[in-house]
């Protein structure tokens, strides 16, 4: 029985990836690098900034340098996206449906806390969730299950009682590695590019609530 629903943020609550692409393109252009959208699809969407920056800059980026470069890029993203925050179709209605039940709800994102605060704040739903975890709250990033296992603890539920919504291979794998049920959200990838999920949806208007009841 599902007792908790946990959402990834980028590509799930909002379709932010096009704005992350713009921000990264501007960031890398300053360094005479021009990654393609296909490269972003493979090495940016659903990945943490340590991996992304190390991959595209061709060396390990860590410590204070990682914090400095990450702040530069994410500040650019927040500036670009601040006036365009829009929930995925059907998300707000689905969230309201969950709030009317005894199901606990959380967010588990690889993004910095400042991004989470911006997006959920603009949508007016920061106080809706019983658990909010961002990049700073974990030591191991997706596909490691830490962020989802920690979310389950915060929500006082067992992993097998949790339903996760994820849009990336690493994110969906993290949910599965945690022993949770996962719904793939097809904002950035096709279903065949994701692990085996209990369902795949284009947005929350396409989510069959009967599935939630059956679980």
> Which of 63, 81, 99 delimits the end of a domain?
81
CATH of residue 69:
1.10.150.240
Calculate the average pLDDT of the chain.
Answer: 94
pLDDT in tens, 130-189: 999 999 999 999 999 999 999 999 999 999 999 999 999 999 999 999 999 999 999 989
Contact 16, 185 (CB under 8 A): no
Give the tokens for residue 59.
């060396």
Residue 46 has pLDDT above 80, yes or no: no
Burial of 62 (0-12, 13-18, 19+ CB in 10 A): exposed
* Domain identity same for 100 and 77: no
* Domain identity same for 67 and 119: no
Give the tokens for residue 10.
């980028």
* Domain identity same for 106 and 30: no
User: Minimum mean pLDDT among 5-9, 40-44, 171-175, 190-194: which range?
Assistant: 40-44
The number of domains in the chain is 2
* Domain identity same for 166 and 139: yes
Pick the closest to residue 209 from 120, 89, 90 (CA basis): 90
Q: Which domain holds residue 99?
A: 4-15+86-214
């Amino acid at each position: 029985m599902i007792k908790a629903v946990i959402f990834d943020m980028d590509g799930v609550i909002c379709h932010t990836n096009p704005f992350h692409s713009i921000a990264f393109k501007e960031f890398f252009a300053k360094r005479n690098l021009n990654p393609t959208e296909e490269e972003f699809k493979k090495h940016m969407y659903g990945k943490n900034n340590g991996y992304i920056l190390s991959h595209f800059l061709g060396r390990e980026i860590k410590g204070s340098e990682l914090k400095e470069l990450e702040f530069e890029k994410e500040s650019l993203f927040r500036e670009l996206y601040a006036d365009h925050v829009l929930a995925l179709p059907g998300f707000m209605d689905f969230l309201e449906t969950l709030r009317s039940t005894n199901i606990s709800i959380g967010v588990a994102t690889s993004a910095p806390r400042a991004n989470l605060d911006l997006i959920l704040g603009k949508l007016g739903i920061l106080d809706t969730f019983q658990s909010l975890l961002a990049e700073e709250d974990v030591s191991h990033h997706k596909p490691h299950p830490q962020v989802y296992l920690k979310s389950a603890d915060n929500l006082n539920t067992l992993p097998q009682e949790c339903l996760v919504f994820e849009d990336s291979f690493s994110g969906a794998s993290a949910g599965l590695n945690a022993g949770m049920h996962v719904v793939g959200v097809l904002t950035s990838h096709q279903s065949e590019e994701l692990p085996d999920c209990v369902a795949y949806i284009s947005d929350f208007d396409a989510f069959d609530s009967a599935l939630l009841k059956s679980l």
